[in-house]
């Protein structure tokens, strides 16, 4: 089976949850020949990885030409911005699946007409694609109601299993992710100062909102407690998290944040914004805060550094091998529908899905 992933910014990932999800899917499906079209030019050539050109028509021509030359069976779209491209591919005969990693129409940073356009794209994806996948349970439930005929699927993100690093010498609090308005990082800096809580920020500054970036840089420079440590390579996220006691994510909206899962897997106490996407994770060791007025005063300072409850929960509910297995079942089902492939009967595919309680196919 040949699968073409379209939409991550880079491969291998430098940062960002979408890039990491695609990387984990490619790495976790040894029986699938994976190909990737990335958004940004790459520093060095990678086998079966190409850069998308600018413009919808050029992208369509590039993807269809590559797909024909390489015998692509399924095209997997990973961002709302590429949903129009995916719909064009689907309408011209390609098998297409789309994953909605987060719903931008929830973000107040965008004007209402842009948010309405994003909502329309998500709805059209559920109507047009062979299957549309949501990673967050609240979003999935909403679109199950909006699209009663073609039900979307829920496939939650996962992280690799592994022993947590030793807890000796852990310090303060940490945030890992994009430093952008929807992540509420400026509010987090102010809350850390008010609570006198040491906090390290890891991640890239926002490329689109230069006003916000300048305001955040100025706030960090004035702060007594907060330091920006810059972006980190995806291979360094888990070892970096393991140096801390508390992980904070005060974002206004999420899909299913990998950084939260990684922090829980490393035994950190979680401090998360009180939004449905965080509540649905069911983390047993967690403090919720109001994203509109983040307050870190109530965060316990002597939290246990061996949060076995969180680690066991992530291992049980969010293992990346089950995420890959759920997508593989969807790919096979799509091929079975078109080809009526007797080698992969529907009963066998349903059995695969039954073994994956984290996914709802």
Q: List pLDDT tens digits, range 6-55.
A: 999 999 887 678 999 999 999 999 999 999 999 988 888 899 999 999 99
Model confidence at 234, pLDDT cuts 50, 70, 90, reads: confident
CA distances from 216 to 191, 206, 224 (A): 13, 10, 14
CA distances from 18 to 169, 185, 207, 284 (A): 32, 20, 17, 25
Cα 225 to Cα 180: distance, rounded to the nearest angstrom: 19
pLDDT at 361: 53
Cα 39 to Cα 54: distance, rounded to the nearest angstrom: 9
pLDDT at 152: 96
Query: Which fold would CATH assign to domain 171-316?
Result: Rossmann fold (3.40.50)
Other CB atoms within a 10 A radius of the CB of residue 51 amount to 14
Determine the distance from the C-alpha atom of residue 262 to the mean position of all C-alpha atoms in its chain, rounded to a whole number.
12
Query: Does position 216 have pLDDT exceeding 70, yes or no?
Result: yes
pLDDT at 304: 59
CB-count burial class (<10 Å; 0-12, 13-18, 19+) for 353: middle
> What percent of the chain lies above the pLDDT cut of 70?
88
- Provide mean pLDDT across the span 238-245: 90
- Provide mean pLDDT across the span 220-239: 92
- Provide mean pLDDT across the span 292-312: 79
Q: Are 76 and 4 in contact (CB under 8 A)?
A: yes
Cα 196 to Cα 175: distance, rounded to the nearest angstrom: 16
pLDDT at 25: 96
**Both structure tokens of 246:** 């508390």
CB-count burial class (<10 Å; 0-12, 13-18, 19+) for 110: middle
- Provide mean pLDDT across the span 240-266: 92
Encode pLDDT of 312-360 as tens digits. Answer: 999 999 999 999 999 999 999 999 865 544 333 434 333 333 344 444 5
Model confidence at 61, pLDDT cuts 50, 70, 90, reads: very high
Other CB atoms within a 10 A radius of the CB of residue 240 amount to 18
What are the residues facing 269 on neighbouring strands? Answer: 246
Cα 349 to Cα 335: distance, rounded to the nearest angstrom: 11
Model confidence at 103, pLDDT cuts 50, 70, 90, reads: confident
- pTM (2 decimals)? 0.86
Among residues 256, 276, 248, 255, the alpha carbon closest in space to that of 159 is found at 256
pLDDT at 353: 38
- Provide mean pLDDT across the span 84-96: 96
> Of the given ranges (160-164, 306-310, 347-351), which has the lowest mean pLDDT?
347-351
Provide the mean pLDDT of the chain.
88
Residues of each domain in the chain carrying CATH 3.40.50.2000: 2-158+320-360, 171-316
Pick the CATH number of 2-158+320-360 from 3.40.50.2000, 1.10.150.530, 3.40.630.30, 3.30.470.20: 3.40.50.2000
Output 359 or 208, whichever has higher pLDDT. Answer: 208
pLDDT at 349: 34
Helix (H, G, I), strand (E, B) or coil at 139: helix
């Amino acid at each position: 089976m040949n699968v073409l992933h379209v939409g991550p910014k880079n491969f291998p990932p430098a940062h960002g949850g979408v890039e990491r999800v695609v990387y984990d899917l490619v790495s976790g499906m040894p029986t699938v020949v994976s190909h990737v079209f990335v958004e940004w030019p790459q520093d060095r050539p990678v086998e079966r990885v190409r850069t998308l050109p600018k413009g919808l028509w050029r992208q369509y021509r590039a993807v269809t030409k590559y797909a024909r030359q390489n015998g692509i069976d399924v095209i997997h779209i990973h961002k709302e911005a590429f949903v129009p491209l995916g719909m064009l591919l689907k309408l011209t005969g390609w098998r297409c699946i789309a994953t909605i990693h987060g719903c931008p129409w929830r973000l107040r940073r965008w004007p209402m007409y842009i948010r309405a356009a994003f909502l329309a794209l998500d709805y059209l994806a559920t109507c047009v694609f062979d299957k549309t996948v949501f990673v967050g349970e609240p979003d999935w439930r909403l679109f199950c109601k909006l699209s009663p005929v073609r039900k979307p699927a829920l496939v939650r993100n996962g992280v690799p299993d592994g022993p947590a690093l030793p807890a000796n010498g852990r310090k303060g609090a940490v945030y890992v992710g994009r430093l952008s308005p929807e992540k509420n990082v400026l509010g987090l800096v102010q809350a850390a100062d008010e609570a006198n809580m040491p906090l390290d920020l890891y991640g890239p500054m926002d490329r689109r909102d230069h006003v916000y970036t300048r305001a955040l840089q100025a706030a960090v420079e004035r702060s007594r407690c907060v330091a920006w440590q810059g972006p980190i390579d995806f291979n360094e996220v888990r070892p970096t998290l393991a140096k801390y006691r508390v992980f904070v994510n005060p974002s206004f909206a999420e899909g299913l944040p990998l950084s939260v899962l990684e922090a829980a897997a490393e035994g950190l106490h979680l401090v998360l914004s009180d939004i449905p996407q965080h509540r649905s994770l069911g983390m047993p060791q967690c403090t919720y805060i109001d994203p509109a007025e983040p307050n870190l005063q109530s965060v316990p300072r002597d939290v246990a550094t061996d949060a076995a409850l969180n680690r066991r929960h992530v291992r049980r509910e969010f293992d990346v091998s089950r995420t890959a297995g759920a997508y593989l079942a969807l790919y096979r089902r799509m091929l079975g529908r078109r080809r009526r492939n007797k080698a992969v009967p529907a009963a066998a595919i349903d059995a695969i899905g039954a073994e994956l309680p984290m996914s709802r196919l």
